[in-house]
């Protein structure tokens, strides 16, 4: 016993180094395999608050530009609204809507690492929960991963763990949207069957298989496509509509039917 203690004392620096490295590796590998670490992320009280303060200062610098973007979007929405009214009475019972939308602002963005997360300034108190979709006026942004009472982190589409159902606009060919960590303005759409006819410039939107995003939210356009190695399906490079380097206003989408859908799918899978 004495010897063991002496040994540890003699090599205490090495032991400490190994222990700390192991702790870090465990934290890292655990969050690699599944969700981002629950306890250590930038939506937490201290980290969220620091980014919040920095955001209140820096948000003044581009107020004018952001206002212009919002006004443009309002104009677009008004246009759609008026056209809808013409066609028929609008369903104006908000209780019946499947999707609800919450506005949030980005307080921390990142796009250089292979696993990018964005922090937004709305949290549980505003009704944000894990697995809600996040979009910008231009297109999709990501999925809510962790929440604290006032902040939330979003797993960006620029994340190697991201996997979102997407399809080619106006068809029903669907595939998965993934990212190969190469360029921050290009993501990959895989598993589109060979029978689909593609053209460079076609629009890619979210698909109907996802219970997170509504169908037909724009993602980007086809930049280039290739058959994959076993020649059975296409791998498509999609150039994003969103400029991922410059995001401020976002909308968090809640699907009220998601729980029901998940439950149904789970019970079906259980029977098998």
The residues that touch another protein, with contacts defined as CB under 8 A, are: 12-14, 16-17, 20-21, 23-25, 27-28, 31-32, 36-37, 40-42, 44, 46-47, 50-51, 54, 108-117, 119, 153, 181-182, 184, 245
φ/ψ region of 2 (left if φ > 0, alpha if ψ in -120 to 50, else beta) reads: alpha
Min separation Cβ 50 and another protein, Å: 7
Min separation Cβ 29 and another protein, Å: 8
Burial 122-160 (b: 16+ CB within 10 A, else e): bbeebebeeebbbbbbbbbbbbbbbbbebbbbbbbbbbe
Q: Which is nearer to another protein, 54 or 67 (CB)?
A: 54
**DSSP assignments along 111-180, one per residue:** -SSSEEEEEES--GGGT--TT-EEE-SSSEEEEEEEE-SS-EEEEEEEETT--EEEEETTS--EEEEE--
Helices and strands in the chain: count of H runs, count of E runs: 5, 12
Q: Which is nearer to another protein, 180 or 263 (CB)?
A: 180
Min separation Cβ 23 and another protein, Å: 7
Q: Which is nearer to another protein, 4 or 46 (CB)?
A: 46
**H/E element holding 195?**
none
Q: Which is nearer to another protein, 157 or 196 (CB)?
A: 157
Min separation Cβ 184 and another protein, Å: 6
Q: Which is nearer to another protein, 243 or 260 (CB)?
A: 243
Min separation Cβ 17 and another protein, Å: 5
Min separation Cβ 21 and another protein, Å: 6
What is the end-to-end Cα distance of the chain in Å, rounded? 56
Query: What is the SS3 assignment for 15?
Result: helix
Q: Which is nearer to another protein, 23 or 261 (CB)?
A: 23
């Amino acid at each position: 016993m004495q010897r063991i203690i002496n040994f540890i004392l003699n090599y205490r620096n090495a032991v400490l180094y190994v222990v700390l490295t192991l702790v870090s590796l465990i934290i890292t590998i655990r969050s690699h395999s599944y969700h981002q670490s629950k306890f250590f992320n930038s939506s937490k009280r201290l980290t969220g608050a620091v980014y919040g303060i920095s955001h209140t200062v820096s948000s003044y610098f581009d107020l004018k530009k952001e206002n212009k973007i919002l006004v443009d979007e309002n104009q677009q929405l008004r246009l759609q609204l008026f056209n809808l009214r013409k066609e028929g009475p609008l369903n104006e019972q908000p209780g019946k809507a499947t999707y609800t939308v919450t506005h949030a602002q980005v307080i921390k963005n990142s796009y250089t690492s292979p696993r990018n997360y964005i922090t937004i300034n709305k949290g549980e108190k505003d009704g944000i929960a894990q697995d809600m979709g996040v979009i910008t006026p231009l297109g999709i942004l990501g999925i809510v991963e962790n929440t604290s009472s006032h902040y939330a982190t979003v797993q960006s589409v620029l994340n190697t763990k991201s996997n979102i159902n997407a399809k080619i606009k106006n068809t029903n060919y669907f595939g998965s949207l993934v990212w190969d960590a190469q360029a921050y303005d290009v993501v990959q759409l895989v598993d589109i069957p060979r029978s689909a006819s593609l053209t460079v410039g076609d629009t890619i939107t979210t698909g109907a298989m996802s219970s997170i995003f509504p169908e037909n939210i724009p993602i980007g356009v086809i930049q280039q496509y290739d058959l994959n190695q076993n020649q059975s399906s296409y791998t498509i490079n999609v150039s994003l509509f969103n400029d991922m380097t410059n995001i401020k206003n976002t909308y968090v989408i809640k699907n009220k039917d998601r729980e029901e859908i998940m439950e149904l799918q789970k019970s079906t899978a259980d029977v098998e």
